[in-house]
């Protein structure tokens, strides 16, 4: 079932409203850069806010549409966001969007290969409360393995495209469902979102 989206509805909160609306008025551009569907971006934002997550990590910045939502949540929670993308050009555009929204100071940009950056963050002893994965679909299982080390107990993993690109990530889907350290909801949203909470040690 699909619900017709009301047009021109202002994002209710703070600075990102104008920037997000400007991006959303360029549907082709959002599609061309593989950005999240609008309602999924809203859900991402809401999950981050209600979970009061402060240390956020994004794998796959593109031009910053999902990044704006996560950075806004980080701002409300007095937290910060690290975001990774192999494309320096797309990250440069994301930075401009974050600057326009007055959220750039909340965000650390990591240009480069996702797995290399994730390894580096882990080697630095960084820990995160929420990790959003939206980069190379064939690498999701490897991102998931990294999430086990990078996320704190009680942390949330959100993976996009589990419906639209499911065949490319069967190893990830199976591993996530088989791992009793995670509580999972495999949502059939337009692109598909797998949401997983890392359980505390000693608990199922």
Ligand X SMILES: C[S@@+](CC[C@H](N)C(=O)[O-])C[C@H]1O[C@@H](n2cnc3c(N)ncnc32)[C@H](O)[C@@H]1O
* 118-137 residues near ligand X, rule: CB under 6 A: 134-136
Q: How far is the CB of 147 from ligand X (least distance, A)?
A: 15
Q: Is 100 in the site for ligand X (CB under 6 A)?
A: no
Regarding 85 and contact with ligand X (CB under 6 A), the answer is: yes
Query: Cα separation of 166 and 163, whole Å?
Result: 5
Per CB under 6 A, 90 contacts ligand X: yes
Closer Cβ to ligand X, 167 or 180, answer by number: 167
Between CA 177 and CA 160 the distance in angstroms is 16
| Residue 118 parent element (H or E) | helix 114-123
Contact 65, 20 (CB under 8 A): yes
At residue 186, the 3 state secondary structure works out as strand
Number of residues that bind ligand X (CB under 6 A): 18
* E strand map for 98-198: 107-111, 128-133, 151-160, 182-187, 193-198
Task: Tell me how far, at minimum, the Cβ of 91 lies from ligand X, in Å.
Answer: 8
Q: What are the angstrom distances between the C-alpha of 5 and each of 133, 138, 201?
A: 25, 31, 41
Q: By CB under 6 A, tell whether 24 contacts ligand X.
A: no
Query: Rule CB under 6 A: which of 39-78 touch ligand X?
Result: 60, 62, 65-66
Shorter beta-carbon distance to ligand X: residue 136 or 178: 136
Binding site for ligand X (CB under 6 A): 34-36, 60, 62, 65-66, 84-87, 90, 113-114, 134-136, 139
């Amino acid at each position: 079932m699909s619900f017709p989206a009301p047009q021109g509805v202002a994002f209710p909160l703070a600075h990102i409203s104008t920037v997000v609306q400007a991006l959303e008025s360029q549907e082709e551009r959002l599609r061309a850069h593989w950005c999240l569907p609008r309602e999924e971006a809203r859900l991402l934002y809401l999950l981050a806010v209600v979970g009061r997550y402060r240390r956020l990590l994004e794998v796959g910045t593109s031009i910053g549409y999902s990044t704006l939502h996560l950075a806004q949540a980080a701002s409300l929670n007095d937290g910060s966001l690290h975001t990774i993308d192999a494309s320096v050009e797309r990250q440069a555009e994301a930075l401009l969007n974050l600057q326009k929204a007055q959220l750039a100071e909340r965000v650390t940009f990591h240009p480069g290969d996702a797995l290399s950056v994730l390894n580096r963050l882990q080697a630095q002893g960084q820990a995160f409360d929420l990790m959003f994965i939206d980069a190379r679909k064939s690498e999701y299982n490897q991102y998931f393995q990294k999430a086990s080390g990078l996320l704190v107990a009680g942390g949330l993993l959100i993976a996009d495209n589990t419906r639209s690109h499911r065949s490319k990530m069967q190893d990830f889907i199976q591993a996530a469902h088989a791992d009793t350290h995670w509580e999972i909801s495999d949502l059939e949203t337009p692109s598909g979102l797998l949401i997983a909470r890392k359980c505390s040690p000693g608990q199922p």
